[in-house]
Structure 1
Amino acid sequence: MINSISNSSCVFEARVFIFRVSAKIKRFNLTILQFLKYNGYSNNSLIIHKRRRMKAKFGSTIAQAEEARDKTPHDSFLSGLFDSQARFELAFPYPKQSEDDRVEGQKILDALDELLRKTVNANEIDKRGEISDEALEGFRRLGLTGVKIPKSHGGLGLSQVNYMRLAELLGSRDASIAALISAHNSIGVPTPLMMLGTEEQKNEFAPQLAAGDFSAFALTEDEAGCDLFRIRTYAVRIRDTDGSITGYRLYGKKRFTTNLTRDGKTPFARWIIYIARIVDDPSEIKPLDTKEDAESKKVFGAFIVDTRNEELTVLCRNYFTGIGAIYNGNSQLEGVYVPEGRRLRVRDTEGRPIKENDGITAALTALGIGRLTLPACSLGNMKKTLQIARHYAAQRITLGRPIGEHEQLGKFLCDMAANVYAAGALLHIAGTRTDEKQDIRLESAVCKVLITEWGHTALNDRILIRGGRGIETDDSLFAKGEPAFGDERDLRDSLLNRIGEGANTLMNVWMAREELDPYKIRGDAILQGSLWEKVKAVLWFIRQFLKPPSPVDWSDPMFENAGPLLHHMEFIRRRAKALTRNTVLASIFIREKLEVRQLVLARLAMNAAYLWAMAAVCARAASDAPRYENRAYELADYFCKERRKEIEPARSLFSQIFRDPNAGCVHRLAKRILKKEMLFLEEGIIKVVND
């Protein structure tokens, strides 16, 4: 009887198994049919019609934006994730800064630390909306206007790693001075000049910048933000009798230009890079949102403008909710003359311009590296936030114990500490790759998005920990003789970090576009290619769907000391396959609409960003283990578990309550933070509390 029941049970389970397999095969067949339909074997005319309608609506803007893209394939951990690859060799072994480079940077940091303590009062700067002349002269004297300029041209010639250490220090002191130095060095003239300029241009401008001239970058207009092809500022070519171009006359208006003006009337920056459309006649500029404008061929250029030119007018200074002393303003150009020698060009190895339409490329090239400075400033503020929150959470007693030992507030401390640790890892790897002239287009965008978001969240949590004192002004606290740390000011200041140099929402979509480039190429082939191109594209998608995750030899010496974190790294490896498969399915079922499904694109981009952050923090912990022992592992483990919850969120309340991987970690890690066992996370900034 028992055997009969057992046999019946086995037969039933086998039938259930066969039914499930059959159902999966049917679903897979349906997927293939959808794929073939997408490939054009049915309803292809409908797809082409939709594509034509989209092209008619947007004209050639999308095509021109695609043309301006840097089409160099990404050599990146992030792009590999969409090919079922977890390229741990790009994070392991964790890069170490050379001792000579560290010492050289530390000398500048020590001098800057002393200057900031003497001349920079963040509360006064916020109230007055001005940086003192003493501080500005001190920055010039230290050579901070030449941070990215080589010593051969009179600058400090700091490495990117040291420059980000400097940005951390500035960000921990005051957001306005951080914006001043960052806007000048990162996206102002120095970085584009050293990347794109000729030797003649470098010899002309670099010494003046290193000697103290500030600069700016003018891109945004009333009708042009993230869509750069709506730029209306134009440059009219001036030709010699033989037809050669000798210069340009610039016309138009720009807004939100940082370092433009202090008084709202006269320029503060001596040199400004203007991005403008190049034309032979002003009549080529057509009204926006018309068919004529959409179909017109647009060529853009990047021009270095001397602000002493009388045809350049400062219209106003802009004031914002935060960063009270940011010298941001609007300007107008009314025939400003710029000689051909002051146009920045994208050139080949022999110094010859590659193409005429290189203004957008120049802008994006500068922003790619310059984008690392904002998250570095945010990291400095995050370290200060951790310091303030830790100190207050240990001193404030509620219900018989420090508030930091209560689980909710303790989790705030844990999140701050883990995110500070991860942010440092992401920036250090990106900075090292920059110094090695490697591709960081995606890494810089991930740093910008993740770290500025973490910084804003940390400031919110700092205010919740400090309660009423967190939203009380510094003057009010000083009047009562209590210490003040600028909680509400720092929160206001952090808003700009999420918007400046590419809003985070836009950056998510941009990252997805770059990461999914191979998918777009094959998708376009299916829609518009020949029959053979369609077949190859379909086969590529099938291979992507079936491709196994890349093998990893965990016994490799580069994974030395990573043992306690290998289960997280194995998760990354497996999730790379899942990310690839889900991207294939999105391409199949959403099809040509995927390029406008921004929420889907953002989810894909953020999943990849979290996996990269996990890999970076594991690499740092493996490197730090001999020095910090279990503390590094504990921070990395907590961070990875939190990111895994975002990548694979719990589906039920039961799972949220009983299967939270960090449920037992919060109290233990929070107590270690309160006991000052994690003080190494607060290094590199000015101390603001008296422990």
Structure 2
Amino acid sequence: MATKEAAERKNLMTEQIKKLGKGVQIADEQGDKKLVEGFMADAFKGKASFDEVFPWPERSLKSAKKAEELLKALDKFFREKVNPDLTDESRDIPFELFGDMADMGMFRLKIPEELGGLSLSQTDYGRVISYLTSYYGPMAILVSADNTIGCKFPVWKYGTKEQKDKYLPELMRWPSGFCFTERNVGSDPARMETYALRVKENGKTIGYCITGQKEYTTNAVLTDNVPLAKFLSVVVRIVDNPSEIQTEKDVKKFCFGLFIVPTSSKGVNVGERLDVGLRNEFFGMHGIYNANPLFENVWANPDQLIGGEGNGFRISLQALNTGRMAIASSCVSIAKQCFSGSQNYAEKRVQWGTPIIDKELIGTEKLARQGLCYIFAMDAMTNYASLRFDSGKDSRLEATSSKVFSSEKMWMIVDNNVQIHGGIGYETHKSSSRRRKVFPADRFFRDARPNRIFEGSTQILSQWLVGEGMKFLKPFAQMGTWKEKFLLLCELTVNRINFVRIPDVPRPLRKHLKFVRRKVRKFSNRVLFFAARDMVFLALQSLVDKEDKKKLAREMLTSRQLTLWRLFWIASYLSAMVVSCSRAVHFGADSAVEMADGFCSEARLCIDNLFREFYRNNDRKMRRIADGLKEDRYAWFIHSDILPLIDQLNLK
């Protein structure tokens, strides 16, 4: 009987996952099966694992030395050959600079020395990306898209010796691109329509024919109808018949593959059609080479498939994980640059007899509270995630948290930079620099915005992180053995009664770590409460009618994204507090302790407010209003006194 009940619970759990969409099912099926580890993972279990963060991890001195040499070369390169204003205006990186970048090793940053690369660690790779971003963002995007998610990563990590020998020499001399996104595919791989049709002879696969169109492929097109990348990394569904794209409903049978496709291949179309051959233009990031390549029956040999059939999506997820750390590094760089511009302007700008930095709403609020203290935490989180990755430890939660946290706080700092500069911050740099020397606030404002979308949007990643953090509870939700359940209960109990020693830190930081120790247990209690409630709802679903099942499903944690959002931010703030304290101790400077103390004091207020919101919120009321939006209940008000562009442009 117990086995039957467990099976029923597992089936109900599976149904809940299905209701989230096939994309979630695919991510659950093909993602890393290993449970997440580290301070943040242990926080879900109620344990403040300070020993995961203290002492601050060591970095590779060999890689650091190479990075220093490269940064010196980049400094000279930027000062002598790159003019961000001209490049921003022309929307092109001068073609001759690609050769200089190749000579410096910009297209082989993380490839091991034995394969011809620079063998930079993830930490030092992030420093290079940060440096590029601080001067000219589109150049950082070009390099990051190539090194992180382009062709190099899959070939280096998953390619055979023959594939490495064939592709890497040319890949290390020129940028490549990554093709995943489609018109109906952002974060949902279940809707992918680009496919590779198996071509068989005597029952053996002798090749594939790739058909479909991708969107937003960086490094795809140099100028209209002329490719930039010589190779594209293309993620597709592998099928025996094209009809499977529409007819196959079982996601467990979806087979994804990752192919290395030369842009010179017959059928790779970056020209002729307006929706294919023209570079995508964005209101920011002028100078990135982005387009929507079309694949029309493109032949691919078996040796172009990397990692074998069925591993394409899995490889993409791993590439995107390191990509998130690179995005976080870019965000820290942008935040530092804009903060520096804000501080400089606030010190010089005098209003009513005093510099505006002396005004509380500028110096105290915008610069100290919302600026410097958050930048210190962002920098600590990003470096810690990279150092964990370099040491071979699991860094999935740290990478995701640092990306979301840094991109959200960076945007606040960038917006404050424009606000502090006032009218001249909104004026283009080209226009304002005709009258005076001024910080290019407009360019950073335009270029910074996509970082909240790249490599997974804030909304998607926050939900994913909490889901991964709660996977340790699966033995209860599914068919775990009694032994597994007993051991998990013992672990959770020990975490609550075991005394965790506070690391040796300066006195101002000690109280913050004590706060973390208390709140980690409270956070875990909330997690367990929601998990237990979901189990009750699952049990009730087998007893109620169809309409009540829908109501219960809507109360499940998987459907309550605002609750998941609060859990994400509590976990992120707690982790940020600990890594900030460890980073401050590592620096050994009083000023570092002051910044960490300032951030932790602010984080404590945010955490307490988030806990209160579990009990005091307007979620259900706002949900009813959201339901009314679908019924057009408020259209009479929204469309009054405007000429609706959605009607003029036929967007409905």
Q: Which TM-score tier does this pair reach, normalised by the shorter chain?
A: 0.7 to 0.9
Q: What's the secondary structure of 2:227's corresponding residue?
A: coil
CA distance in 1, matches of 2:564, 2:19: 22
Q: What's the secondary structure of 2:563's corresponding residue?
A: helix
Q: What's the secondary structure of 2:258's corresponding residue?
A: strand
Q: Is the 8 A contact 1:267 1:307 kept in 2?
A: yes
Q: 1:489 to 1:518 in 2, by over 3 A?
A: same
Alpha-carbon distance, 1:441 to partner = 1.1
Alpha-carbon distance, 1:442 to partner = 1.1
Alpha-carbon distance, 1:51 to partner = 6.3
CA distance in 2, matches of 1:59, 1:107: 48
Partner of 1:70: 32
Q: What's the secondary structure of 1:235's corresponding residue?
A: strand
What does residue range 406-555 of structure 1 map to in structure 2 within 5 Å?
Answer: 406-410=359-363, 411-414=365-368, 415-480=370-435, 482-525=436-479, 544=492, 547-548=495-496, 550-554=498-502
Of 75, 80, 83, the match for 2:42: 80
Q: What's the secondary structure of 2:118's corresponding residue?
A: coil
Q: Is the 8 A contact 1:148 1:190 kept in 2?
A: no
Alpha-carbon distance, 1:147 to partner = 0.8
Q: Is the 8 A contact 1:264 1:329 kept in 2?
A: no
Task: Report the AA paired with residue 219 of structure 1.
Answer: F
Length-normalised TM-score, structure 2: 0.84
Of 575, 579, 582, the match for 1:616: 579
Q: 1:368 to 1:390 in 2, by over 3 A?
A: same
CA distance in 1, matches of 2:357, 2:59: 35
Partner of 1:606: 569
Post-superposition Cα deviations, 1:448-505, rounded to whole Å, max 9, x if no partner, equal 101111111111111111111111111221221x113221221111111100110111
Post-superposition Cα deviations, 1:364-402, rounded to whole Å, max 9, x if no partner, equal 011111221111112111111121111111111223322
Q: Is the 8 A contact 2:190 2:251 kept in 1?
A: no
Partner of 2:617: none
Q: What's the secondary structure of 1:145's corresponding residue?
A: coil
Q: Is the 8 A contact 2:10 2:477 kept in 1?
A: no
What does residue range 518-667 of structure 1 map to in structure 2 within 5 Å?
Answer: 518-525=472-479, 544=492, 547-548=495-496, 550-554=498-502, 559-591=503-535, 593-625=556-588, 628=589, 630-649=590-609
Alpha-carbon distance, 1:575 to partner = 1.1
CA distance in 2, matches of 1:49, 1:338: 40
What does residue range 20-31 of structure 1 map to in structure 2 within 5 Å?
Answer: none
Q: What's the secondary structure of 1:317's corresponding residue?
A: coil
Q: Is the 8 A contact 1:78 1:442 kept in 2?
A: yes
Long gaps (5+) in structure 1 = 1-38, 346-352, 653-691
Q: 1:102 to 1:462 in 2, by over 3 A?
A: same
Post-superposition Cα deviations, 1:126-174, rounded to whole Å, max 9, x if no partner, equal 2221111233222122110111112222222222221111111111011
Alpha-carbon distance, 1:106 to partner = 0.7
Q: 1:548 to 1:417 in 2, by over 3 A?
A: same
CA distance in 2, matches of 1:295, 1:624: 49
Q: What's the secondary structure of 1:275's corresponding residue?
A: strand
Task: Report the AA paired with residue 624 of structure 1.
Answer: F
CA distance in 1, matches of 2:372, 2:348: 18
Q: Is the 8 A contact 2:18 2:25 kept in 1?
A: no
Q: 1:104 to 1:296 in 2, by over 3 A?
A: closer
Q: What's the secondary structure of 2:394's corresponding residue?
A: coil
Partner of 1:662: none
Alpha-carbon distance, 1:264 to partner = 2.8
Of 504-513 and 292-301, deviating more is 292-301
Partner of 2:240: 280
Of 588-597 and 427-436, deviating more is 588-597
Q: Report % sequence identity.
A: 31
Alpha-carbon distance, 1:333 to partner = 0.8
Q: 1:198 to 1:67 in 2, by over 3 A?
A: same
Task: Report the AA paired with residue 109 of structure 1.
Answer: L
Of 215-224 and 120-129, deviating more is 120-129
Post-superposition Cα deviations, 1:536-568, rounded to whole Å, max 9, x if no partner, equal 7599579747951642223xxxx3444431111
CA distance in 2, matches of 1:328, 1:92: 42
CA distance in 2, matches of 1:76, 1:442: 8
Q: 1:463 to 1:550 in 2, by over 3 A?
A: farther
Alpha-carbon distance, 1:413 to partner = 1.2
Asked if residue 385 in structure 1 is aligned to residue 338 in structure 2, the reply is: yes
CA distance in 1, matches of 2:499, 2:106: 46
Of 138-147 and 425-434, deviating more is 425-434
Q: What's the secondary structure of 2:462's corresponding residue?
A: helix
Q: What's the secondary structure of 2:226's corresponding residue?
A: coil
CA distance in 1, matches of 2:125, 2:10: 50
Of 178-187 and 69-78, deviating more is 69-78
Of 423-432 and 61-70, deviating more is 61-70
Partner of 1:250: 210
CA distance in 1, matches of 2:153, 2:23: 28
Q: Is the 8 A contact 1:61 1:294 kept in 2?
A: no
Asked if residue 306 in structure 1 is aligned to residue 262 in structure 2, the reply is: yes
CA distance in 2, matches of 1:623, 1:258: 38
Post-superposition Cα deviations, 1:262-282, rounded to whole Å, max 9, x if no partner, equal 223121111111110011122
Q: Which has the larger radius of gyration?
A: 1
CA distance in 2, matches of 1:330, 1:409: 43
CA distance in 2, matches of 1:595, 1:584: 14
Q: 1:651 to 1:201 in 2, by over 3 A?
A: closer
Alpha-carbon distance, 1:590 to partner = 4.5
Q: 1:485 to 1:234 in 2, by over 3 A?
A: same
Long gaps (5+) in structure 2 = 271-275, 539-555, 613-652
What does residue range 95-134 of structure 1 map to in structure 2 within 5 Å?
Answer: 95-134=57-96
Q: 1:55 to 1:568 in 2, by over 3 A?
A: closer
Q: Is the 8 A contact 1:91 1:616 kept in 2?
A: yes
Alpha-carbon distance, 1:193 to partner = 2.2
Partner of 1:235: 196
Post-superposition Cα deviations, 1:101-137, rounded to whole Å, max 9, x if no partner, equal 3222111100011111222222222222111123322
Task: Report the AA paired with residue 210 of structure 2.
Answer: L
Partner of 1:374: 327
CA distance in 1, matches of 2:199, 2:610: 64
CA distance in 2, matches of 1:421, 1:549: 33
CA distance in 2, matches of 1:637, 1:55: 41
CA distance in 2, matches of 1:640, 1:244: 61
Q: Is the 8 A contact 1:544 1:584 kept in 2?
A: no
Q: 1:483 to 1:549 in 2, by over 3 A?
A: farther
RMSD: 2.6
CA distance in 2, matches of 1:594, 1:74: 20
Task: Report the AA paired with residue 304 of structure 2.
Answer: R
CA distance in 2, matches of 1:370, 1:59: 25
Q: Is the 8 A contact 2:23 2:188 kept in 1?
A: no
Q: 1:190 to 1:543 in 2, by over 3 A?
A: closer
Asked if residue 339 in structure 1 is aligned to residue 301 in structure 2, the reply is: yes
Task: Report the AA paired with residue 274 of structure 1.
Answer: V
Of 516-525 and 179-188, deviating more is 516-525
Q: What's the secondary structure of 2:214's corresponding residue?
A: strand
CA distance in 1, matches of 2:163, 2:10: 48
Length-normalised TM-score, structure 1: 0.79
CA distance in 2, matches of 1:188, 1:585: 42
